[in-house]
């Protein structure tokens, strides 16, 4: 049977005049930066010779130094139930993000011809950007997390150098965590014809899906009359699987329906992606072309049933993530994002909540490719403030514009399965808050009718009384496990989402005695115990959420606070110096897994074995004292041995939530040597074992890169885990040696991080102390192909070396 659409397309293509279509230029290099007011810096002939040369994305504040006086806030944190104000020194990371700064770039557009249209697109600028081109102001925005663009057609010059200047201003008391500073996401210039597809003007949905056929609906907004649109759908191998041509405009929009036979469905397990190639013609002249990746998938939220993806009921195994990338700060780096997602994938995580702001495009691209469902969040504040200079200042003027840009810029990502219009907003109280919740939800529905909307609610009683929670598509509860049953009965939706859960605190490799549940527990070293039994007054332990996920079919999943530690919010030490980063992470700030990683992995990663022992076994001075041993495993029972002597068999059972999900030997007495665990299968036979040994003195530095081959693009990174071991190769878990780093060849030393939330060492300097025997070094490529060598030295230690390669 002849495909008439394809025949038409081939005939059309054979007659096409291949005119210049859009050219997208990313402004990465040639930037100059200066912190300070510099009122004349937007002018074309301004002298910027002494300014710092930087590449974008760029975060000016991550280089430090850490300083307790930066954004020192005397405040009572209402979300934490505080009534009396106290001094908070590390709340926003103690890094110098406050102040004004300028970025300048000079560029030419060799393909630009007078009469074409030119846009400049920012995917995030922290914050309150004002944009100038060739001495003229072209626009401004307010929200540092928003994507936005300006039409610069009237300011750009043909055949000449163009001077771009961007002014940024970060105020104190504008954030509750480290926000970063600068042009921390991409900047692009787009040159296109007057007859063209609108910016973010393509919307691809899949309204009908069966095993045999999927209907792909493509709506495309365009500029121009007497134009025709041709769309091809390509499979993952680049084969054309559907085509359509249309010449009838409805207002300024084309709408096409394409049939894809035997569709491959997108899911976290099978993240299959199609591509829509959309071409705009005037007569036989190609005027514009846009490529859109999308997935064919169906989402559903129903009472009693819960959440379904492609017809299969499932629960979200999700984490919340702030936008900073540890030692890189807020500056987006795709290699760093990919590493985060690989770590989460190994844990069995299948969903991410962008907390509490709009995600980067790179993060969404990776979520599409690697298979993560996404809860894309917009705001941490509405009209009522949490911090004096937060988003409340902009809400009335900008909220709708920010939501429209969020939806338009990201709606084609199949990973996004719901929107969030807010997190723990003080507007949860009262009638005005209900009106705002409905207003924002209606905007999301207008711009994207295919996805539901939630809000992370912490004032659950108030939202039950006011109707706030009842009007949401998805009622999201932040903590409040004791109110789940009551909320389920009160709300009409028929299900509850754990939009933010756990907030258990721990420091990697740090263990405190006695081992007991504790709320807001503090210690002289400002660390939290990695026995995973400490939490906040408003939160709970992981096991409490596990019970709800397993026993309540109407609980549709959870998003744990947080997947990784982040800069700022050092609860429970937010009034103690030098704490400057969080303790909530399942992984630390360096991306190294804490013990809690294996607790979640034992439940979430059902395909692979988990058998993890804690604590370490170096306890000089604790001989004969009670030192409990926990095992996190996906097996139901195991036997513990200390130096060959059995400590008995433990089985998971329905006593406390901890007994249900952890194996715990509470009465073990410490003696140096070997701790071994033997796990049993369901038939009672041994199936796996692990050992932890008492390590001797630090002897040797061991390096383990996450990748030995990276791209020679000047951006790619290898994350090298640095460990110190004894002469027998055992990790020295209490080592705190000062190490130094040197990179030779076609790479550079970029940063290091040890995961210690109290460390004041600057990430970009080539030296750092170990924390609990480990740290991570980031090696960055140059734009040249060749060998790279990292060497790590420490006094009295055998040097560690590793060879990497930069390739095209």
Q: Which pLDDT tens digit goes with each residue over 558-614?
A: 999 999 999 999 999 999 999 999 999 999 999 999 999 999 999 999 999 999 999
Please give the distance of CA 367 from its chain centroid, rounded to a whole number: 10
454 occurs within a structural domain: yes
Query: Structure tokens of 779?
Result: 């090696």
Do residues 545 and 563 share a domain?
yes
Which pLDDT does position 5 carry in this prediction? 39
Average pLDDT, the chain: 96
Q: Which two tokens stand for residue 79?
A: 């979300």
Inter-residue contact 484 to 555 (CB < 8 Å):
yes
Which pLDDT score is estimated for 19?
54
Residue 433 belongs to domain with CATH number: 3.20.20.80
**Residue that finishes a domain, picked among 170, 192, 214:** 192
Whether residue 478 lies inside any domain: the answer is: yes
Domain boundary pick from 584, 603, 619: 584
Contacts of 726 (CB under 8 A, 6+ apart): 695, 696, 697, 698, 699, 700, 732
Q: Is 510 a member of any domain?
A: no
Per-residue pLDDT for 552 more than 70? yes
Greatest pairwise CA separation for the chain in angstroms: 88
Neighbours of 84 (CB within 10 A): 5
pLDDT surpassing 70 at residue 284: yes
Amino acid 41: pLDDT: 98
What confidence score (pLDDT) does residue 13 get? 39
Phi, psi for residue 656 in degrees, rounded to 5: -80, 165
Q: Is residue 526 part of a domain?
A: no
> Across the strands, what pairs with 497?
476
Question: 682 Cβ partners below 8 Å, 6+ apart?
Answer: 636
For residues 58 and 331, give the distance between their C-alpha atoms in angstroms, rounded to a whole number.
5
CA 645 to chain CA centroid, Å, is: 45
Cα dihedral 622→624→626→631 (10° resolution): 90
In a domain, residue 513? The reply is no
- Listed in sequence order, the residues at least 6 apart from 236 whose beta carbon sits closer than 8 Å to its beta carbon are 264, 272, 273, 274
Q: Give catalytic residue positions.
A: 424, 500
Burial of 534 (0-12, 13-18, 19+ CB in 10 A): buried
- Say what the pLDDT of residue 11 is: 38
- Look at residue 513 and tell me whether its pLDDT is greater than 90: yes
- In the three-class reduction of DSSP (H, G, I as helix; E, B as strand; rest coil), residue 789 is classed as strand
Q: Does 164 reside within a domain?
A: yes
Together in a domain, 264 and 389 = no
Same domain, 105 and 175: yes
Q: What are 461's two structure tokens?
A: 């009683």
| Residues contacting 793, CB < 8 A, separation 6+ | 701, 739, 740, 742, 799
How far apart are the C-alpha atoms of 317 and 556, rounded to whole Å? 9
Would you say residue 398 lies in a domain? yes
For helices 334-347 and 595-604, angle between their N-to-C axes, nearest 10 degrees: 60
111-130 confidence digits (pLDDT tens): 899 999 999 999 999 999 99
Beta-carbon contacts of 627 under 8 Å, excluding residues fewer than 6 positions away, are 513, 615, 619, 668, 669, 670
Contact status, residue 494 vs residue 302, Cβ threshold 8 Å: yes
Regarding whether 477 and 575 lie in a shared domain, the answer is yes
Looking at the structure, tell me whether residues 396 and 488 fall in a common domain: yes
Do the Cβ atoms of 419 and 472 come closer than 8 Å? no
Sheet holding 700-705, edge to edge: 700-705, 717-725, 774-781, 747-753
Angle 272-416-560 from CA coordinates, rounded to 5°: 110
Question: Cα(537)–Cα(94) distance, rounded to whole angstroms?
Answer: 24
Identify the CATH number of the domain in which residue 707 sits.
2.60.40.10
CA distance 381 to 79: 12
Task: Evaluate whether 644 touches 654 at the Cβ level (below 8 Å).
Answer: no
β strands within 424-520, DSSP E: 453-457, 474-478, 496-502, 518-519
Is residue 252 located within the same domain as residue 242? yes
pLDDT for position 3: 43
pLDDT value of position 572: 97
Dump pLDDT digits (tens) for 319-339. 999 999 999 999 999 999 999
Q: Buried b vs exposed e over 536-556: b needs ≥16 C-beta within 10 Å?
A: bebbbbbbbbbbbbeeeebbb
Task: Give dist(CA 428, CA 475) in Å, integer.
Answer: 12
- Asked if residue 712 and residue 568 are part of one domain, the reply reads no
Same domain, yes or no: 177 and 214? no
DSSP letter assigned to residue 774: E
pLDDT of residue 82: 79
**Number of alpha carbons in the 13 Å side-chain half-sphere of residue 513:** 13
pLDDT single digits (tens) 68-104: 999 998 888 777 777 888 888 999 999 999 999 999 9
Is the residue at 508 inside a domain?
A: no
pLDDT score recorded for residue 561: 98
User: For 151-198, what is the HEC assignment?
Assistant: ECCCCCCCCCCEEEEEEEEECCCCCCCCCCCECCCCEEEEEECCCEEE
Overall domain count for the chain:
5
Q: How far apart are CA 456 and CA 606, in angstroms?
A: 28
What gap in Å lies between CA 478 and CA 643, rounded to an integer? Answer: 44
C-alpha to C-alpha distance for 516 and 573, rounded to whole angstroms: 19
Domain boundary among 171, 192, 213: 192
* Sheet with 23-26, edge to edge strand ranges: 23-26, 187-192, 117-122, 148-151
Pair (226, 358) in one structural domain: no
3-class SS at 234? strand
> Are 344 and 456 members of one domain?
yes
The answer to whether residues 179 and 247 belong to one domain is no
Q: What is the mean pLDDT of residues 407-423?
A: 98
Number of H helices, E strands in the chain: 11, 48
**pLDDT score of 744:** 98
CA distance 528 to 512: 8
Q: What pLDDT is stored for residue 551 in this prediction?
A: 97
6 HSE (CA, 13 A, CB side): 10
CATH number, residue 111: 2.60.120.260
Whole-number pLDDT of residue 20: 72
Share of the chain above pLDDT 90, in %: 95
> For 434-459, how does the pLDDT look when each residue is reduced to its tens digit (9 = 90+)?
999 999 999 999 999 999 999 999 99
Residue 10 above 60 pLDDT? no
Residue among 185, 148, 205, 204 at smallest CA distance from 406: 148
Q: In which domain, by residue range, is 246 found? A: 4-21+195-294
340 and 421 part of one domain: yes
253: number of Cβ within 10 Å: 14
User: 379 pLDDT exceeds 60?
Assistant: yes
């Amino acid at each position: 049977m002849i495909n008439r659409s394809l025949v038409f397309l081939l005939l059309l293509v054979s007659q096409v005049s291949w005119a210049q279509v859009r050219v997208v230029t990313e402004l990465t290099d040639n930037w100059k930066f200066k912190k300070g007011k510099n009122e004349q810096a937007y002018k074309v002939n301004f002298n910027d010779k002494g300014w710092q040369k930087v590449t974008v994305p760029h975060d000016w504040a991550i280089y430090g130094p850490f300083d307790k006086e930066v954004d020192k806030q005397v405040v009572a944190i209402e979300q934490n139930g505080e009534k009396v104000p106290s001094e908070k020194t590390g709340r926003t990371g103690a890094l110098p993000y406050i102040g004004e700064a300028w970025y300048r770039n000079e560029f030419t557009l060799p393909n630009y011809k007078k009469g074409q249209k030119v846009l400049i697109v920012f995917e995030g600028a922290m914050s309150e950007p004002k944009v100038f081109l060739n001495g003229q102001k072209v626009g401004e925005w307010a929200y540092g997390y928003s994507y936005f663009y300006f039409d610069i057609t009237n300011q750009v010059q043909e055949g000449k150098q163009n001077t771009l200047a961007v002014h940024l201003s970060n105020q104190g008391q504008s954030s509750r965590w480290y926000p970063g500073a600068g042009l921390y996401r991409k900047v692009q210039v787009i040159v296109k014809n007057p007859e063209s597809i609108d910016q973010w003007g393509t919307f691809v949905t899949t309204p009908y899906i069966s095993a045999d056929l999927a209907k792909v609906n493509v709506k495309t907004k365009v500029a121009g009359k007497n134009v025709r649109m041709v769309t091809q759908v390509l499979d993952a191998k680049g084969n054309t699987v559907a085509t359509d041509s249309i010449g009838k405009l409805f207002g300024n929009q084309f709408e096409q329906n394409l049939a894809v036979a035997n569709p491959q469905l997108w899911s976290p397990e099978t993240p299959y992606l199609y591509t829509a190639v959309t071409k705009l013609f005037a007569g036989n002249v190609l005027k514009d072309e846009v490529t859109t990746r999308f997935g064919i998938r169906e989402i559903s939220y129903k009472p009693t049933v819960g959440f379904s993806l492609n017809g299969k009921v499932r629960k979200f195994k999700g984490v919340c993530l702030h936008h900073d990338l540890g030692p890189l700060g807020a500056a987006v780096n795709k290699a760093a994002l990919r590493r985060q997602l690989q770590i989460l994938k190994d844990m069995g995580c299948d969903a991410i909540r962008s907390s509490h702001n709009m995600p980067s495009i790179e993060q969404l691209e990776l979520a599409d490719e690697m298979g993560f469902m996404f809860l894309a969040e917009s705001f941490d504040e509405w009209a009522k403030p949490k911090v004096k200079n937060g988003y409340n200042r902009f809400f009335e003027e900008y909220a709708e514009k920010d939501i429209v840009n969020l939806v338009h810029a990201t709606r084609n990502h199949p990973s996004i399965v719901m929107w969030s219009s807010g997190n723990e907003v003080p507007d949860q109280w009262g009638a005005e808050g209900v009106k705002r919740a409905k207003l924002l939800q209606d905007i999301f529905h207008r711009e994207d009718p295919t996805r539901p909307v939630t809000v992370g609610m912490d004032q659950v009683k108030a939202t039950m009384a006011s109707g706030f929670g009842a009007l949401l598509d998805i009622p999201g509860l932040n903590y409040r496990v004791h109110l789940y049953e009551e909320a389920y009965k009160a709300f009409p939706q028929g299900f509850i989402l754990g939009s933010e859960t756990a907030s258990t605190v721990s420091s990697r490799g740090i263990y405190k005695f006695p081992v007991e549940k504790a709320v807001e527990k503090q210690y002289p070293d400002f660390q939290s115990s990695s026995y995973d039994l400490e939490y906040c007054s408003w939160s709970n332990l992981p096991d409490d959420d596990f019970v709800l996920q397993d026993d309540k079919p109407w609980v549709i999943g959870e998003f744990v606070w947080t997947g990784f530690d982040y800069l700022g919010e050092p609860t429970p030490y937010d009034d103690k110096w030098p704490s400057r980063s969080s303790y909530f992470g399942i992984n630390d700030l360096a991306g190294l897994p804490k013990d809690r990683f294996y607790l979640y992995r034992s439940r979430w990663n059902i395909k692979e074995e988990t058998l993890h022992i804690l604590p370490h076994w170096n306890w000089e001075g604790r001989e004969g004292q009670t030192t409990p041993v926990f095992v996190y495993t996906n097996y139901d029972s195991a036997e513990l041995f200390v130096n060959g002597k059995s400590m008995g068999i433990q089985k998971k059972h329905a006593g406390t939530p901890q007994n249900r999900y952890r194996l715990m030997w509470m009465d073990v007495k410490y003696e140096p040597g070997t701790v071994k665990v033997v796990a049993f299968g369901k038939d009672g036979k041994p199936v796996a074992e692990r050992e932890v040994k008492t390590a001797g003195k630090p002897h040797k530095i061991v390096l383990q890169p996450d990748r030995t081959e990276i791209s020679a693009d000047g951006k790619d990174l290898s994350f090298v885990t640095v460990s110190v071991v004894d002469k027998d190769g055992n990790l020295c878990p209490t080592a705190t040696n000062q190490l130094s780093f040197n990179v030779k060849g076609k790479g550079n030393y970029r940063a290091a991080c040890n995961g210690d939330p109290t460390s004041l060492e600057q990430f970009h300097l080539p030296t750092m102390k170990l924390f609990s025997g480990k740290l991570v070094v980031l090696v960055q490529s140059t734009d040249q192909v060749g060998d790279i060598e990292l060497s790590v030295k420490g006094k009295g230690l055998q040097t560690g070396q590793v060879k990497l390669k930069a390739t095209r």
